[in-house]
Structure 1
């Protein structure tokens, strides 16, 4: 196999693993993919995968720790797409992607979450003004955890 082909195969496997981990519930310990004779193996840290944030098992109420205050219920948030470490800036010492008071557009990068050595851009799903940063730079985050609270602003998506 030529070096270019091998690099393309590895790149494709990385993308597939990234998508798979983003779609799985709970902290994944190991993912094993194989191309020849197709094989897939996923191992979680716990014997039973944890439910996705905001989706408790049937009959169990959703609770929040005191250190994880809930943003106002009527206020939209930008949420983490994966479990990992949240960074507000593209590199150490750089200006943050957004700050309180900034206007954001749909698709605008507001931060990155590092997961399994991959940097995943976090983008705003709607236009708005940043009213609160809910997670400190360099702190661990869970899947679907609110990162930034927005105040919807009409006409900000232009």
Structure 2
């Protein structure tokens, strides 16, 4: 199922669901997804989302633009264990899109978005590759991220 179809099928009020597969070798000795895997899987989901929206994350920091960023803060709360090999999803959205920083929210959940296993947020700062100082996000990222913004409550 494509991420677009998955998102439409779930009727999320904001953000997008990205499917993520869990494999046997990602489970710990107790048969649960290790806590350190969650942030990695969320990162992979974001990478997939941005690539589907036309961004290139080649690893060349001089030319990669918005991908030249660093994590300022990561917060995660674990609600229930993931204890079987299956396809799950990561629900992604933008909480805030500032000039040089953004905050995104996430939920690690069942493939249909119905059950949440973990949730949290992460703050990123965009850097200029020449100086490693904060620099504004591109207009391309701003336009591509508008539909991901969570509506005010």
Return the TM-score normalized by structure 2: 0.29
Higher relative contact order (CA 8 A, sep 6+): 2
The structure with the larger Rg is 1
- TM-score, normalisation: structure 1: 0.28
